[in-house]
Structure 1
Amino acid sequence: MASPSLTVVGAINVDLTARVERAPAAGETVADGVLQRGPGGKGANQAVAAARLGAAVRLIGAVGDDLDGRGIRAQLAADGIDASGVQTVRAATGTALIVVDATGENSIVVCPGANAGIDASRLGIEPDSAVLLQLEVADDVVIAAARVSSFLAVNAAPARPLPRSVIDACDLVIVNETEYAQLPELHDAQLLCVTLGAAGARLYRYGELVASAPGVPAIVVNTVGAGDAFCAALVCGILRGDGEEEALARACAVGAAAVADPASQPRLSHLDTYGAGA
């Protein structure tokens, strides 16, 4: 099956992850943390996942002119991602501070850094591009990307109100249950995927259920990159012409593989190895 081409617009971070037995409560200190450092950010995570699943990927975002930014560029190149659209800005490369407990649940503080400095006037999205974006970047970037894409998928995370022009341009919106409750204006979207964690996912067209898929059992190690891997898999499946049930089932299988991996950018194989017929 032909490999899809995808442009991802979004945040690029360095993830500093503390793995602990139990996350601290307010005002509490826990002293058993193990620190890990690696690439992250929802844009970069989705781009890397899509590339590892077999897509031809271009990433648009921003990093700083610093050691972290240069390291991220090298890593993107190693995954075969076109990073020519990644801008270099004066701010430091973005950072996410993450706490992951023994059950794999996480809490995250994002320091946007360079991600807040993306120049929306020079995204350089090619004509007829399929675009996947998230909401860790500024509204002007979201609006500019929506205006020029031929296929637009929006992972509405972290949840915030979207301009009507962006909602109307969406071919696909992806949210989790919390985001679905926070953003009722998306409920009648052209195509809306609601992820349900271990229970799987559902797909709605203009508010009517058109497909569902059960969750795939997995040993949960880290949930940070699971949603991003799911988004990449679903978009890639739809772009290459998979049926809705099949695309959703494969995406659930990819998400399950992601939670079993400790990295925010989990090791993944080709999309065809997941789900129905695998």
Structure 2
Amino acid sequence: MSPTPHIAVLGSANMDLVAYVAKAPQRGETVTGREFRTVPGGKGANQAVAAARAGATVSMIGAVGNDAHGARLRSALEHSGIETDLLRTVETPTGTAHIVVDDEGGNAIVVIPGANGTVTALAPGDEGLIASADALLLQLEVPVDGVLAAAQAARRHGVRTILTPAPAQPLPPELLAATDLLLPNEHEAAALTGITDDPRAAARALLSQVPEVVITLGSRGSLYASRDTEPVVVPARQVTAVDTTGAGDTFAGTLAVALAEGNSVPDALGWASSAAALSVQRPGASASMPYRKEIDKEATTETDAEIDAEPGATS
């Protein structure tokens, strides 16, 4: 492990087309929105930005189109300090995500993969980059074949693989066998296991396929389980959400950095939770992601609040 962790990300880069509304439309309904924004996004790019802002050296593997969206995405990643030499430019249009955000901070998303759909295998240089990393972040907005190739490359080189199984879909056994830490939210965990009302039971089921699981529980925090330890729940910081888009990616990118730096899992989860809490208080996905100084300050404030709340504690 290097003093400054190197995180590799293979995943999607989308342009987010975001409409803000008081209440999301039902099927067949038309509503009037109050604002529209075009924001660089995609789960892969978002996790890369989160990791970079949390203090890591980050490299992005993926694809964008030879169009204005692709140029803007590449520029945004580079502006965040992310290395993009292995972000391919292809003739297929850049992927887009069409997002509706309501006044309660909830969202609904339709993703058009576009160029992301061309990432079906590793390209020259990809495996060497993965081998040089301290951790590899993966998601499922690019084809599973490409994700599997990256995970197996990481396994060959002893690189820790963290997989966010979103959008939820059946996962090949070969991919699970090459995954070190599976990071679903509770809905994805339910889709993978068929267990809808008990995250602990879902985590136990997933441990038959991967050695470690973190299930994010939204405002209730996160649940960590491994084959060697009892499950641990780390509470979330209670805040008023403005926009939850990108919160999971903020959590994933920040968690990867904390683990690569050698922090214990509970400490890493608490730090990632602080980052996610900051992100949901701001609009946008990558635009809402906090920098390391902000995360450290938030985590310290939260720890102080916990100490003050203990019986007999003095301020």
Q: What TM-score, normalized by structure 1, do the two folds share?
A: 0.95
2:297 and 2:3 map into 1 onto residues whose CA distance is: 15
Report the more deviating stretch, 156-165 or 87-96: 156-165
- Aligned pair count reads 278
Quick one: structure 1 residues 180 and 187, their matched pair in 2 at CA, closer, same or farther if it must change by over 3 Å? farther
1:251 aligns to what?
272
1:113 aligns to what?
114
1:272 and 1:242 map into 2 onto residues whose CA distance is: 14
Residue 136 of structure 1, CA deviation:
0.7
Checking the alignment, whether the CA contact within 8 Å between 1:202 and 1:209 is kept in structure 2 is: no
Structure 1 residues 196-207: aligned runs within 5 Å: 196-206=217-227
1:245 and 1:49 map into 2 onto residues whose CA distance is: 19
Checking the alignment, whether the CA contact within 8 Å between 1:246 and 1:275 is kept in structure 2 is: no
What runs of 5+ residues in structure 2 fail to find an aligned partner?
194-204, 305-315
Whichever of the two has the greater Rg, that structure is 2
Structure 1 residues 42-53: aligned runs within 5 Å: 42-53=43-54
Find 2:235's aligned residue among 195, 214, 218: 214
| Greater fraction helix | 2
Checking the alignment, whether the CA contact within 8 Å between 1:180 and 1:187 is kept in structure 2 is: no
Quick one: structure 1 residues 190 and 274, their matched pair in 2 at CA, closer, same or farther if it must change by over 3 Å? farther
Find 1:169's aligned residue among 159, 174, 178: 178
Find 1:268's aligned residue among 268, 273, 290: 290
Report the more deviating stretch, 88-97 or 159-168: 159-168
RMSD of aligned C-alpha atoms? 1.7
1:85 aligns to what?
86
Report the more deviating stretch, 147-156 or 198-207: 198-207
Structure 1 residues 93-104: aligned runs within 5 Å: 93-104=94-105
Checking the alignment, whether the CA contact within 8 Å between 2:106 and 2:243 is kept in structure 1 is: yes
Report the more deviating stretch, 107-116 or 205-214: 205-214
Checking the alignment, whether the CA contact within 8 Å between 1:167 and 1:186 is kept in structure 2 is: no
Residue 274 of structure 1, CA deviation:
4.1
Percent identity, aligned pairs only? 40
Residue deviations 1:123-164 (CA, integer Å, cap 9, x gap):
613224321000111011011101111211101111111121
Q: Which amino acid aligns with 2:151?
A: A
Structure 1 residues 123-202: aligned runs within 5 Å: 124-125=126-127, 126=129, 127-129=131-133, 130-149=135-154, 150-184=159-193, 186-188=206-208, 189-202=210-223
SS at match of 2:25: coil
Report the more deviating stretch, 126-135 or 22-31: 126-135
Residue 275 of structure 1, CA deviation:
2.2
Residue 235 of structure 1, CA deviation:
1.3
Quick one: structure 1 residues 207 and 19, their matched pair in 2 at CA, closer, same or farther if it must change by over 3 Å? farther
1:186 and 1:43 map into 2 onto residues whose CA distance is: 23
2:263 aligns to what?
242
Q: What TM-score, normalized by structure 2, do the two folds share?
A: 0.84
